[in-house]
Amino acid sequence: MLQKAVILARGMGKRMRSSASHVSLDPQVEKFARLGWKPFIPISGKPFVYHQLRVLARLGVREVCLVIGPEHLELEDYFRKISEELEIEVSFAIQEKPLGTADAVYAARSFTGDESFLALNGDNFYPEEAIKPLIEAEDRGACYVGGFKLEALISSGGFGPERIKSFAVVEVDDDLNLIRIIEKPESPEAYRTSYGVLVNMNLWRFNPMIFEACRRVGPHPVRGELELTAAVQLMVNERLCRVKVIPLDLWALDLTYSMDIPAVERVLRRVLGEDLSS
């Protein structure tokens, strides 16, 4: 059974930092928002990523690697205590420079070794029902990605149509093999499949072939970053590994702007209940 997960927690949080003065926040919350450390912003007294760690632990994941920057090492002692509390081993991989999400995944290669693993964003929250199908998927030498249905994200995740445009959508064939990833689509509806418009929220199950793709991918011509979606597209185009899409008629949460913080906390309180603060 899959037992390892990699959480990308290094993001620079530019939009979080720039919006931090637009909403009244608790001083401790505001401190992390102004730093742009989105995965570590306190939600009900615990870092945002803590709530995801609890979900992973319930699903049987036993080892988690947080990909962080050197500036986050001051949090190391805290997460060692969390390891004991949740009975899940939390370790760290240092991404020395913020070169992009493909570089962040590549930083975790010694942690994963030859095993398959989950990879997910530290500034998103994925419910148990979304992660479980990726854990339980047959290996078959393939990688997997969750394709969140656009309507579910809008109705249950609190996403507006404009927020969807900041993510990516996927094209699939009749057997749900990934054909193409379209980043930041101007019109997501133009990429409707027979399964609906499937949005990529960076919830992946990878095998070690992803590291070859991350090593070889070049920087985006405009954004200049080594992007994970580009590495996955390279893997598909060069047939390094099949990527299967799992349609998910489910919600997810996104913590991008300071205005998201109160809404994220309300949803987590509703769905996690007493578990949130215990």
> Which tens digit of pLDDT belongs to each residue from 181-221?
999 999 999 999 999 999 999 999 999 999 999 999 999 99
| Residue type, position 201, single letter | M
List the structure tokens of 141.
């030498």
* Residues forming beta bridges with residue 146, ordered by sequence position: 246
- Domain assignment of residue 155, given as a range: 4-276
Q: Per-residue confidence at 12, pLDDT binned at 50, 70, 90?
A: low
Q: What pLDDT does residue 275 have?
A: 58
CA distance 87 to 66: 16
The residue-averaged pLDDT of 104-129 equals 97
List the structure tokens of 106.
């590549």
> Which tens digit of pLDDT belongs to each residue from 38-90?
999 999 899 999 999 999 999 999 999 999 998 888 888 888 888 889 999 99
The residue-averaged pLDDT of 11-21 equals 75
Parallel/antiparallel/unpaired status of strands 89-94 and 63-68:
parallel
CATH number, domain of 72, equals 3.90.550.10
The answer to whether 6 and 118 have CB atoms below 8 angstroms apart is yes
The answer to whether 68 and 46 have CB atoms below 8 angstroms apart is no
CA distance 99 to 82: 28
- As for how many domains the chain has, the answer is 1
Could you tell me where the DSSP H helices lie in 107-199? 109-112, 128-136, 150-156, 161-164
CA distance 161 to 68: 30
